[in-house]
Structure 1
Amino acid sequence: MTFFETPLTRADFEERMGFLFDLCNNDRMVFGPGVGARATESLQQVRKLPNGRIDLLSIDELARVQANTAHQMQNFAPSLDSEED
């Protein structure tokens, strides 16, 4: 079983949010019908601070989960190894 890596620093988290925004801007992210409208609204509420950094207080749980999942899935490859008994 593989566990998701959690971001350890603010920079890690900002990188994940940036990766998610790039996916969305390039039409490489598709949301399912039950989540699509809420996810889009959640991501639209994310703001940037005057210094260009992401306002962490504007990120809700749905946006955070989407960013962490997108980051984890970029390196996801299902294991093709099978254990033989």
Structure 2
Amino acid sequence: MAFFEAPATRAAFEERMGFLFDLCNTDRMRFGSGVGGGAIESLRRVRKLPNGRIDLLSIDELARVQANTAHQMQNFAPSLDSGED
């Protein structure tokens, strides 16, 4: 398996965006002052379509990178619940 695999389908990408929004909504991801201004605005511009799916045209490069990085960190970072250091 490659270190990073891009999502192969729209559903896989929407899952990554949903995971990122879940991290933000549950306060498990925070942005430092002065660092996250552009990142926060990028995520605020992401829209949903009337059918509930994410409007892919509203996702810019910064939001895409954040979603892919969050997904990657989920797979490689030790879990806080597992007691690993």
> What is the TM-score when the length of structure 2 is the normalising length?
0.83
Q: 2:46 aligns to what?
A: 46
- Give structure 2 stretches of 5+ with no counterpart: 79-85
Q: Which has the larger radius of gyration?
A: 1
- Give structure 1 stretches of 5+ with no counterpart: 79-85
Aligned counterparts, 1:44-83, within 5 A: 44-77=44-77
Report how many aligned residue pairs link the two structures: 77
Q: 1:26 aligns to what?
A: 26
> What is the TM-score when the length of structure 1 is the normalising length?
0.83
Cα distance in 2 for residues equivalent to 1:65 and 1:35: 15
Which string of whole-angstrom CA distances, capped at 9 and with x for unpartnered residues, describes residues 6-27 of structure 1?
Answer: 1000000000000000000011
